[in-house]
Amino acid sequence: MKFATKAIHAGQHADPTTGAVMTPIYQTSTYKQASPGEHKGYEYSRGTNPTRKALEDCLAALENGKFGLAFSSGMAATDTVLRLLKPGDEVLTGDDLYGGSYRIFTKVYAQYGIKFVFVDTSDLEAVESAVTDKTKLIWVETPTNPTLKLADIEAIGKIAKKYAVLYVVDNTFASPYLQNPLDLGADMVMHSATKYLNGHSDVVMGALILNDEALYKQLWFFYNAVGGTPGPQDAFLALRGLKTLHVRMKAHCENARQIAEFLKTHPKIEKIYWPGFADHPGHDVAKKQMRDFGGMISVVLKDADLKETFRIASRFQVFTLAESLGGVESLINHPATMTHGSIPKEARERVGVVDNLLRISVGIEDVDDLIEDLNQVLGD
Ligand SMILES: Cc1ncc(COP(=O)(O)O)c(C=O)c1O
């Protein structure tokens, strides 16, 4: 099956009791057993729920993986992966990451004796030379949040194989419509399903997708033992959101292309990050591993201090100033004080997350209205 067909049908079957076409919201915590241990595959909804299972199977199909696991947030998914580690282990990861990933690494798992090494994952030599005999996990985000750096998924996969290190790609920014890390050598894909997968800014959810059955069982153990699993209502909404992922992603990419071109030559813009530009340092890697360049753009405002940046960020009429991304509506975010506020100033500025950087999640409204909004805010 091709992508759009999978997005609409994978994991879903007409309800056997009523014929309902849409997977019902199985709003139940528990399931009747005929005798102890004799049941229909469902015992207790922390571990298994039919609505969630349909979503997990659909997610697995979209990422070309065998197994999917849905979590109550992207961070719960990340946490579950990190539970595979032991004190003394090292994690090799990117120096430009979602702030919450940085926070769980440095403020939660570092205190249990796990070491996190941050490198520029667009630099393959830097990645390989940072591997030690203690490295147990390579965690890559691409494109990165918020400066949209590209990591070569396949090349890092070869490094991970060479040193037998578990390799996870956070595919939140690209979505499976644009990029499938499992096909390029990743062992696992992580998603903040809150973003493009659900796509309507009404659910917080995470996901892991993988092929290895033993690893799936290990992760499922933590998922059930710890319990960061989503309820059926959220699973239903995410499943519904997925059905239009391909249509939404096309529109996000097209709108972003027009907005990036508009902003590139704007006198109030000092720098623009969008992987579709030929002069973006990761453009060739993006062309190789992505089907289009995505809906995210970051800009550095010219001659703007924090006060002026706040003034600009607060004046949009169509864009909404808010955290998050990947929904149908366009959002503006100020990473330094919002999504990346938990990263120390020096560390974030080193990778370009400066006070006058704004991140734009381009929605799927009429692009003329979006450009007009940007024009009125930047124009005076
Ligand atoms: C790239 C990336 N990874 C992970 C997360 C965390 O996901 P959640 O907010 O669903 O917990 C986010 C959230 O913004 C993100 O942007």
Give the DSSP H or E segment for 177. helix 175-178
- Residue 52 pLDDT more than 60? yes
What is residue 180's predicted lDDT score, i.e. its pLDDT? 98
Cα distances (angstroms) measured from residue 159 to each of 20, 125, 154, 155, 212: 47, 10, 9, 7, 19
Local structure of residue 35 (DSSP, 8 states): B
Are both 74 and 155 inside the same structural domain?
yes
Single residue among 211, 242, 273 that ends a domain in this structure: 242
Residues 78, 55 contacting (CB under 8 angstroms): no
Count other Cβ atoms within 10 Å, centred on residue 330: 26
Residue with tokens 């360049």: 293
Q: What is the CATH number of the domain that holds 30?
A: 3.40.640.10
Residue from 145, 190, 325 to probe ligand 1 pocket by mutation (most atoms less than 8 Å from CB)? 145
Residue 82 near residue 109, CB atoms below 8 Å: yes
Do 83 and 213 belong to one domain?
Answer: yes
In which residue are the tokens 């998914």 written? 77
Tens digit of pLDDT for each residue in 133-189? 999 999 999 999 999 999 999 999 999 999 999 999 999 999 999 999 999 999 999
Q: Any idea which residues carry the catalytic annotation? A: 46, 98, 170, 195
CA of 40 to the centre of ligand 1 (A): 34
Atom of ligand 1 nearest to the CA of 193: 10
Q: How far is the CA of 284 from the centre of ligand 1 (A)?
A: 26
Taking only the tens place, the pLDDT of each residue in 92-141 is 999 999 999 999 999 999 999 999 999 999 999 999 999 999 999 999 99
For the chain, the domain total comes to 2
Residue 310 pLDDT more than 90?
Answer: yes
What mean pLDDT value characterizes the chain? 97
d(CA 223, CA 229): 7
Residue 245 and residue 62 in contact, taking contact as beta carbons nearer than 8 Å: yes
pLDDT attached to residue 379:
86
Query: Domain end: 195, 217, 242, which one?
Result: 242
Q: Same domain, yes or no, for 87 and 112?
A: yes
- Quote the ligand 1 centre to 88 CA distance (angstroms): 26
Give the pLDDT of residue 343: 87
Q: Environment class of residue 328 by beta-carbon count within 10 Å: exposed (0-12), middle (13-18) or buried (19+)?
A: middle
338 and 362 share a domain?
A: yes
Mutate to test the pocket of ligand 1, among 97, 170, 175, 195 (most ligand atoms within 8 A of CB): 195
**Which residue is listed with tokens 């947030």?**
73
Q: Which ligand 1 atom is at minimum distance from the Cα of 75?
A: 11
Amino acid identity, residue 270? Answer: E
**How far apart are alpha carbons 81 and 91 in whole angstroms?**
11
Angle between helices 245-264 and 367-379 (to 10 degrees): 30
Longest dimension (CA), the chain: 73
Q: Which of 29, 39, 102, 82 is nearest to 344 (CA)?
A: 102
* Single residue among 242, 263, 289 that ends a domain in this structure: 242
ω into 36 cis (within 30 of 0): no
Q: How confident is the model over 303-313, as a mean pLDDT? A: 96
Average pLDDT on 205-223 reads 98
Q: What percent of the chain has pLDDT over 90?
A: 97
Residue 140: closest CA among 74, 93, 80, 183:
93
Question: Which residues form the domain of 157?
Answer: 3-242
> What does the DSSP assignment read for 89-152?
-EEEEESS--HHHHHIIIIIIGGGT-EEEEE-TT-HHHHHHH--TTEEEEEEESS-TTT-----
Confidence of residue 380 (pLDDT cuts 50, 70, 90): low
Residues 238 and 258 in one domain: no
Per-residue pLDDT at 342: 84
Residues with CB under 6 A from ligand 1: 73-75, 98, 100-101, 141, 145, 170, 172-173, 192, 194, 204, 206
CATH number for the domain that contains residue 342: 3.90.1150.10
Q: Dihedral, CA atoms, 346, 351, 354, 356, nearest 10 degrees?
A: 180
Cα angle: 291, vertex 77, 231; to 5 degrees: 105
Same domain, 118 and 157: yes
Structure tokens given for 55: 């979503």
Which residue do the tokens 């039919």 mark?
50
**Per-residue tokens: 225:** 């033992």
For 97, residues 6+ apart whose C-beta sits below 8 A from its C-beta are: 118, 141, 144, 145
**Substitution candidate for ligand 1 out of 97, 168, 194 with most atoms within 8 A of CB:** 194
302 and 234 in a common domain: no
Is residue 202 domain-shared with residue 66, that is, in the same domain? Answer: yes
Q: Are strands 115-119 and 188-192 parallel, antiparallel or unpaired?
A: unpaired
